[in-house]
Chain A
């Protein structure tokens, strides 16, 4: 059904630790993994699934480690990858950093975790908060208190333990919207979407029942209310704790939250997004001489709002040298290892427009290699604002002890990380220089 064995390898392909779950694949098969990968890398065509004879390797890479699952059956590939990423998550929560050293330093716990995470190829308990209740860093002494399996492990509520206590009961709700955007060189928006997440930091006692209300258009349509702005969510994904059938039937988001930090839900919105920061660029390449870059950034959001940590990343040829910058605000620097000119603006008020000019020298002997034309990327964050207009209308908290709890909501819109605002540009090749005034 899924993995026969799971291996953690270093970058040289040496097995750091492994666990044979089913015994139907020879453990020595792993020796073929790295040579296969090397061959693929040489051809420039890596693939997350590789096979050698009857054995299939499903792998992911994390820092300086490969996590590899082997199988010789028609396994559920999506389950295997989801599981491997879960392993990374659990190990990271245990060891803060998951890397070669942390595996070696903690091999006893790693073995224990591998034993608990999966049995005979079937993933079992993978919630690290719950695992931490019975797999601890220190050798467990069998005291009376520890002779019980946390009921959470097998409970229907497998993500929250009973008996949690806080003096002050609070929930912090972060609504974070990330923008994906692709603009063509001619200024037309090719594609755009918003990926939103709702993150919780729950500090509530007992087993509270929570209900989250958003200005979800589908919900309002269902209940016949029509007050103010609503938002259409194209697709919604929920944490295990949310009752999916309930949501399916009446769009109610009801759940018993995990303790501490968690990602409650994510959603995707398809509506056309106005590029919050608009980039125009003129990039001219004078062969054998230099590259001239002019970038204009314009804040297309409300004047009252401010974008923080704006970063405009402009690709430059890999053989560029002697950078010169001039900016109307912020500062620019050359990051040669990434072939980028990065222009940083700490605080960018809405409606404003800024300019950056850069010039780079080019060697007289030209680089033969074809270079791609990566787009210009813009990263930023705008607090107290969601681009979609989504709002938390209420968060109801009910616990049988009847305490009063306070929900706190924060909004932020950003781009960067997994999402990106990308601007393609035309590259003008010039034979003789043109002087800009």
Chain B
């Protein structure tokens, strides 16, 4: 405590004794004076002068002119002075590179000082001097320091390698520092290990292909041992590094989890979150029926809850991550609703996040409490928070059906408060409730209409107008109400204008006699007086529809709308997986992949959760489906983006309850089913269809023909339309069209069609399940028989909502290739069992072998040559591909899309010879030579492979890819 007392005394004597005095010299000729002082013989004076220089530097004055004088003070036995000079060097070396060389000698000398503090200080500072010229002088000192006897020096040197690598990567590699760094992972001192891991991770992150951190069970074991001994920060470095490893099997995964779980009890929140990251990632590999799996789930909840008592900023990070965890594994926190209740004095950013999680956790069991809380929040003062609370009530209504009534009455209570923004927000959510439960709560419309005048926000106005239009037949004065809006039509926002247009058209279709004038007025306002193309287009469509065929118009405009789904703001599954791998980082806070906000990371591999590698058993234990809510793989059954497209004409274009994150990947581009267009409408539109894609999409949505299959995007025909429009799909892997695998008559009304695709390195089985029976189907599960390439589902079949009669759902099932293997005939045959609440059904299908072509199938030229020679000629098979009109370059790029890589091209006498390599997921290489003669539509292909039985399948793929 002595130092503290001194400090207090210093304070009593005033600023004289403190460093602040150095900030006060602002006389003229200051630099000159300092120069003199720096060159003084008296040590004390020198030191004072350097302090003054640093003080000037701190307040932002340019003191670089003193560079040589300050560097002259570098050789001193006073540690404090030395540190100050070093500090100065770090700051100004970059601007004075030539003079910085003057310092090199001292650095080299200091690196050999008897005092480890000085050796470390020198090596630490050295790395911070980002002057390329001097880096090479630093190699020898660094090499010595990496082998220093004192761990303090070694741990500092380890970090220095990362610094140097940042300045001159080549130099570091040439000098072999990376190997030394790797050796330090086995150092006896845990702090050194931790820093070496941190440095290697840092280097690996900026050079993703360097394969620096080649983690293997031995190195993992070393890291886990060091984990128990190093500082809290070191633990984070190690845990973050571990998170990049993919265990070989579920057993290894479990043993790592077991050694990581104690970290959940660390007082440092960052250690806890990094441990959670490792566990969330690795538990993906554990079979769900394993006892340990459920133990682990139980262990995760308490530490996550405790994070909420950390400092507010850490709470915020924790809450953003809990939001992800709740989406990925809702079972972990499903009983912990109360801890997310908002505290009166929580910062606003914490309040909003808690609210989000409350909605996600709301269920029938806890809805009463949740509603009571939300109602309380709606009376607070913070506008944004109150709005969100009101919105949350609406979301609860949509999510928990049993509570809908109570939610509606709560909202009505809130409307009675007459607080402007509360009323508006309530109306917006009531509109959503109407969408979810049509014809149930219309009795409240009267109350809503009372508040018409107070609505000044576009979203609320649009919502109210939608309600009036939708229920026009029940509102006596609907025409008057809508007319009142029409007066200021051009001052309204687009959202309101579009809504008004549609509402009036609806009104007209419902009450044609009294409203003819009104509809004409709005159509002319929209088409003639507006310069908004969307509004004009929509106006014209309605106009033509109404004038051509009012019956069709009725079917289109008053069509039954798809119900909205409760989980519209779920993060898209692949993104969610990636974010889970980034728990604790900025990505997890932003809910964006790092590539979206880190420069130069676009080429970097997206992190994925590891696939299950268990022996494939019990992927569909019956309660998995029941666990519900967890939607890791399948897109939500009702897809918001699709809703938008459809809604364009169906006037559903008010934003669905806040959507965060990008819309789900457009598997097969949910265009609502273009082929529904039908000839009639097509001709009606004439040339317009090409002109306005939005309109085209809108029309495509005309659902009257087939309302029940609204949420079943129709795959076929769509592609053609795209090609026609010249939109051009990006070149990707070949995906065969979906075919019916299991006809409904063979499966008690369940029809399954599907195809296989390889997307971003993941094999997907894409299924369309259609319920052609009279009863609801639930509890879907899928299993594969053993097959030639060990294909197995990488997760359960995600059919979250029961499949009603006449309903269709699209599911994609990621596959792994680590299942049990048995040779099939034909080779690519796959026997599948699908189970639902009715029965178990079997069918078999064939997958294109190109699904198994992996991304790193490009062979080195030399290796190719050697391998080609090496494979006996008996293994070579030749095929003809007829009627192919691509030139060799087009063929090559088309094939590349399916991971068939062209290694070399030779032209001999007008004939192009393409040499290609393919690698199968089980490691088998296939080499190919494709001969293309200009003007000749017949290609010749020779395939060479050590396992010649695959050749036939590969040939079929060539044909399919080239001809599609």
Question: Which residues of B from 246 to 272 have beta carbons under 8 Å from A?
Answer: 259, 261-263, 265-270, 272
The answer, among B162, B229, B314, for a CB contact under 8 Å with A81, is B314
The answer, among A115, A195, A240, A420, for a CB contact under 8 Å with B124, is A115
Known: A72-B598, A104-B23, A107-B58. A77 touches B586 (CB 8 A): yes
Point out the residues of chain A lying under 8 angstroms from B270, CB to CB: 76, 78-79, 81-83
Q: Is B476 an interface residue (CB 8 A)?
A: no
Tell me the bound Cα distance from A72 to B166 in angstroms. Answer: 15
Asked if B266 and A238 make an inter-chain contact with CB atoms under 8 angstroms apart, the answer reads yes
Tell me the bound Cα distance from A45 to B383 in angstroms. Answer: 10
Is chain A's interface secondary structure helix, strand, loop, or mixed overall?
Answer: mixed
Q: Which one of A51, A115, A420 has the highest number of Cβ atoms from chain B below 10 Å of its Cβ? A: A115
B306 to chain A, nearest CB (A): 5
Q: Which of B147-155, B457-465, B951-959 contacts A (4 or more CB under 8 A)?
A: B147-155
Known: A79-B236, A370-B419. A22 touches B586 (CB 8 A): no
Point out the residues of chain B lying under 8 angstroms from A422, CB to CB: 343-344
Tell me the bound Cα distance from A305 to B652 in angstroms. Answer: 64
Q: Which of B13-21, B104-112, B922-930, B932-940 contacts A (4 or more CB under 8 A)?
A: B13-21
Asked if B201 and A1 make an inter-chain contact with CB atoms under 8 angstroms apart, the answer reads yes
Q: Is A368 an interface residue (CB 8 A)?
A: no
Known: A154-B192, A263-B267. A237 touches B306 (CB 8 A): yes
Asked if A108 and B585 make an inter-chain contact with CB atoms under 8 angstroms apart, the answer reads no
Q: Is A23 an interface residue (CB 8 A)?
A: yes
Tell me the bound Cα distance from A243 to B341 in angstroms. Answer: 33
Asked if B130 and A17 make an inter-chain contact with CB atoms under 8 angstroms apart, the answer reads no
Q: Is B543 an interface residue (CB 8 A)?
A: no
Q: Which one of A122, A153, A370 has the highest number of Cβ atoms from chain B below 10 Å of its Cβ? A: A122
Q: Is A39 an interface residue (CB 8 A)?
A: no
Q: Is B349 an interface residue (CB 8 A)?
A: yes
Q: Which of A130-138, A169-177, A339-347, A399-407 contacts B (4 or more CB under 8 A)?
A: A130-138
Asked if A60 and B15 make an inter-chain contact with CB atoms under 8 angstroms apart, the answer reads no
Residue of B nearest to A239 (CB): B267
Interface size on B, residues (CB 8 A): 123
Asked if A158 and B191 make an inter-chain contact with CB atoms under 8 angstroms apart, the answer reads yes
Question: Which residues of A from 135 to 176 have beta carbons under 8 Å from B?
Answer: 136-137, 139-142, 146-149, 153-154, 156, 158
Residue of A nearest to B21 (CB): A105
Question: Which residues of B from 281 to 334 have beta carbons under 8 Å from A?
Answer: 302-303, 305-306, 309, 311-314, 316-318
Q: Which of A275-283, A323-331, A371-379 contacts B (4 or more CB under 8 A)?
A: A371-379
The answer, among A21, A75, A134, A268, for a CB contact under 8 Å with B586, is A75
B188 to chain A, nearest CB (A): 10
Asked if A54 and B598 make an inter-chain contact with CB atoms under 8 angstroms apart, the answer reads yes
Point out the residues of chain B lying under 8 angstroms from A105, CB to CB: 10-11, 15, 18-20
Tell me the bound Cα distance from A190 to B262 in angstroms. Answer: 31
Point out the residues of chain A lying under 8 angstroms from B582, CB to CB: 74
Known: A60-B313, A77-B585, A79-B270. A248 touches B318 (CB 8 A): no
Tell me the bound Cα distance from A154 to B198 in angstroms. Answer: 16
Tell me the bound Cα distance from A195 to B585 in angstroms. Answer: 27
Residue of A nearest to B595 (CB): A74
Tell me the bound Cα distance from A126 to B191 in angstroms. Answer: 13
Point out the residues of chain B lying under 8 angstroms from A76, CB to CB: 236, 240, 270, 274, 584-585
Known: A48-B312, A82-B314, A248-B262. A108 touches B51 (CB 8 A): yes
Q: Which of B78-86, B565-573, B690-698 contacts A (4 or more CB under 8 A)?
A: B78-86
Residues of B within 8 A of A (CB): 3-4, 6-8, 10-11, 15, 18-20, 22-23, 47, 51, 54-55, 58, 60, 77-81, 83-84, 87, 90, 114-117, 120, 124, 127-128, 130, 150-152, 155-156, 159, 162-163, 166, 189-192, 195, 198-199, 201-202, 205, 228-233, 236-237, 240, 259, 261-263, 265-270, 272-274, 302-303, 305-306, 309, 311-314, 316-318, 338-339, 341, 343-345, 347-349, 369, 372-373, 376, 379-384, 419, 582, 584-590, 594, 597-599, 601
12 contacts between A and B (CB under 8 A): A22-B166, A48-B313, A54-B599, A74-B597, A85-B311, A96-B4, A105-B19, A112-B80, A119-B156, A149-B120, A237-B303, A240-B231
Using A78-B269, A124-B155, A237-B265 as known contacts, list a sample of 4 further A-B pairs with CB atoms less than 8 Å apart, ordered by residue number in A.
A76-B274, A107-B19, A112-B80, A245-B262
**Closest A-B pairs by Cβ, 10 of them:** A235-B302, A105-B18, A139-B80, A244-B262, A74-B594, A372-B381, A248-B262, A154-B151, A123-B233, A78-B270
